[in-house]
Amino acid sequence: MEAQMETPMESSVDWKRVLVSSAIVALVLALAAGGYYLFQSKKSGAAAATAKEKDGKEEKAKTPVPVSVAAIASAPISAYISSTANLVAENEVKIVAEAEGRIERLFVEEGDFVRQGETLATLARGDAQMLREKARVRASNARIAFNRAKDLNTRDLMSKGDYEKIVMEKEVAEAELGEAEWRLSKTTIRAAFTGRVTERMVSAGQHLRPGDTLFTLTDYDPLIARIFLPERDVISLQTGRPVRLTLRAASDISFQGRIRQISPVVDQSTGTVKVTVEAVQPPEAVRPGAFVTVDIIRETKPNAIRIPREAVIRELREAHVFVVEGTVAKRRDLTLGLEEGDYIEALSGVKPGDRVIVAGQGALKDGSLVKILPAKT
């Protein structure tokens, strides 16, 4: 077999292929090296950022959190049965006209304080005085006739029938005089009891008929509230128990009261019992009709561990607070008891003298550094 000889053209093509392959390999290596460099740069940058963030968090963790604290103390705390009602005056009447006539003069206005028997208004007296004078004359004549007849009857100089007729005429005349004097007295309208005029419904010169309403008179003492409580809440109550009353229109106005009456029956339609509460020396700002919250003491603990309500953090059925120990906040889990106003009883978890954080505890963790702010004066 004869050996085939390469031609110069074929040899040139092979060299070109080698050169192209080498260039491709070099390019791939360059790209790989660049990618590796970029990867390492990003990795280094990410590591640096992570380290910086970690350092920032550590620095932040070392910065004390400003907080406000309050000392825990033992004090009385109570649980209440609460309800709402309107305070009403127990004694309130409508003053009505008992005789016909025209109002001659008014002596009081709405809001005036009056005493029992004080004159509120007067009616024109002319007709009533004239009728009384006529009745007085008839009664006087009847008495004179009776005295004469009595003397004659004693001496048997007058028949029994004539005597009895004169006696009857005397009695009728005296009754008519009494009626005329009563009508004259009713021209003066007087206060039925000591109290305050809360409404005036008439004007001077107005003509009245018997039964027309002139005034509403209200006795501010006592003021009472009628509340309706479930039967289970009333079982432990007794008359005389202290009650706290608070105006709904001004929650800073509170005053004392007492249970005066407890209904002996349960309302079958509602299952409630009526309890009548009496206010004890209410402030002058309290008026009949005022809407109040009635708090009846159910239970009192004289030496409870009280925590400010704002310090307690609730999570579902659990609750905790943060207590300052030196410069560190420590979490304390609580068992809660009675609640009254701004305070909650702690059955476990803290003790009197502990300083509990009341502001700034939202971002705290167990062991966080804290800085106690000065108390506001």
Q: Does residue 141 lie within any of the structural domains? A: yes
Mean pLDDT along residues 128-144: 89
Alpha-carbon gap, residue 327 to 368, rounded angstroms: 8
Q: Tell me, yes or no, whether 287 and 324 share the same domain.
A: no
Q: What is the pLDDT of residue 276?
A: 96
Q: Does residue 271 lie within any of the structural domains? A: yes
Q: Does residue 172 lie within any of the structural domains? A: yes
Q: What is the pLDDT of residue 4?
A: 46
Q: What is the pLDDT of residue 48?
A: 53
Q: Domain boundary residue among 276, 300, 324?
A: 300
- In tens, the pLDDT along 295-309 reads 998 888 999 999 999
Residue 376 pLDDT exceeds 60: yes
Range of the domain at 293: 81-89+220-300
Burial status of residue 50 (CB atoms within 10 A of its CB: 0-12, 13-18, 19 or more): exposed
Mean pLDDT along residues 280-301: 89
Q: What is the pLDDT of residue 5?
A: 47
Q: Does residue 70 lie within any of the structural domains? A: yes
* SS3 state of residue 105: strand
The set of residues, in sequence order, having a beta carbon less than 8 Å from that of 349 and lying 6+ positions away, is: 320, 321, 332, 333, 334, 335
Using an 8 Å Cβ cutoff, are 223 and 89 in contact?
yes
Phi, psi angle pair for 206, to nearest 5°: -75, 140
Task: Report which secondary-structure segment, H or E, holds 4.
Answer: none
Higher pLDDT, 64 or 276: 276
Question: Domain total for the chain?
Answer: 3
Residue 150 pLDDT exceeds 70: yes
Q: Domain boundary residue among 275, 300, 325?
A: 300
Helix axes 126-154, 160-185, angle to 10 degrees: 160
Average model confidence (pLDDT) across the chain: 85
Residue 175 pLDDT exceeds 70: yes
Confidence label for 28 from pLDDT (cuts 50, 70 and 90): low
Q: Does residue 116 lie within any of the structural domains? A: no
Q: Does residue 312 lie within any of the structural domains? A: yes
Q: What is the pLDDT of residue 18?
A: 56
Alpha-carbon gap, residue 1 to 3, rounded angstroms: 6
Residue 53 pLDDT exceeds 60: no
- In tens, the pLDDT along 335-367 reads 999 988 889 999 999 999 999 999 988 888 898
Q: What is the pLDDT of residue 2?
A: 43
For tokens 């002058």, name the residue: 284
Tell me the percentage of the chain whose pLDDT exceeds 90.
Answer: 51
Q: Tell me, yes or no, whether 341 and 272 share the same domain.
A: no
Alpha-carbon gap, residue 163 to 34, rounded angstroms: 151
Q: Does residue 38 lie within any of the structural domains? A: no
Q: Tell me, yes or no, whether 229 and 85 share the same domain.
A: yes
Mean pLDDT along residues 96-115: 92
Q: Tell me, yes or no, whether 255 and 318 share the same domain.
A: no
pTM (predicted TM-score)? 0.56
Q: Does residue 270 lie within any of the structural domains? A: yes
- In tens, the pLDDT along 207-225 reads 999 999 999 999 988 899 9
CATH number, domain containing residue 347: 2.40.420.20
For β-strands 291-308 and 73-86, DSSP reports them as antiparallel
- In tens, the pLDDT along 217-249 reads 999 888 999 999 999 989 889 999 889 999 999
Q: Domain boundary residue among 248, 282, 300?
A: 300
Least confident of 54-63, 134-143, 214-223: 54-63
Tell me the percentage of the chain whose pLDDT exceeds 70.
Answer: 83
